[in-house]
């Protein structure tokens, strides 16, 4: 939830930010381990909805933009993400389905990325191997019951057993 995140603009800032993040982590979570990552000044937070069958096959059901946040907490999600180029959209979908395929992922999940608007680079954040509260806007746009489909995959269905052919229609906001 953004706890412990610090931004260091200079080398001098780094030491203070490092010690501050360690202290906050220790106090809040009992763990003072820190990792360092590149800071993006103009990111978009994009989630890709993925189904995997556990046999190396995965498909996506579009994406959601959850860039509008306060204190690193999502405020609004929009499906499908507005103002993405086709190249950006295709790259995000390809990254998500490749991660799911290569990992032999079996279920419905959400693969989250940061898209750096300055460079068009895509950075993986995390995979949520479960249904998320935001799944309902994907359901609205695709006209599918994702929970029922997830249960079918859990019961042994393959991607070929599911109707994943609907084209997205409209926009949904949560």
Active site residues: 130
CA proximity to 80, closest of 64, 104, 97: 64
Residue with token string 């190249």: 87
Q: Cα 111–114–118 angle (5° rounding)? A: 150
* Beta carbons within 8 Å of 50's beta carbon, 6+ residues apart: 58, 59, 60, 61, 96, 97, 100, 105, 108, 109, 110, 111
Angle between helices 135-142 and 146-154 (to 10 degrees): 100
In angstroms, the CA 26 to CA 4 distance is 10
In angstroms, the CA 78 to CA 96 distance is 18
Burial of residue 102 (number of CB atoms within 10 Å: 0-12, 13-18, 19+) = exposed
Q: Cα 42–40–44 angle (5° rounding)? A: 45
């Amino acid at each position: 939830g953004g706890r412990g995140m610090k931004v260091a603009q200079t080398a001098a800032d780094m030491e203070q930010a490092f010690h501050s993040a360690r202290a906050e982590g220790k106090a809040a979570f009992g763990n003072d381990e820190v990792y360092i990552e590149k800071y993006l000044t103009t990111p978009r937070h994009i989630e890709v909805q993925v189904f995997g069958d556990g046999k190396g096959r995965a498909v996506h059901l579009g994406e959601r933009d959850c860039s509008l946040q306060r204190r690193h907490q999502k405020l609004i999600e929009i499906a499908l993400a507005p103002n993405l180029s086709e190249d950006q959209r295709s790259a995000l979908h390809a990254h998500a389905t490749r991660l799911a395929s290569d990992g032999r992922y079996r279920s419905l999940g959400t693969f989250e990325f940061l898209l750096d608007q300055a460079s068009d680079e895509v950075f993986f954040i995390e995979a949520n191997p479960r249904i998320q509260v935001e799944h309902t806007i994907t359901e609205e746009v695709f006209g599918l019951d994702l929970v029922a489909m997830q249960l079918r995959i859990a019961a042994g269905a393959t991607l070929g057993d599911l109707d994943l052919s609907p084209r997205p229609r409209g926009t949904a906001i949560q």
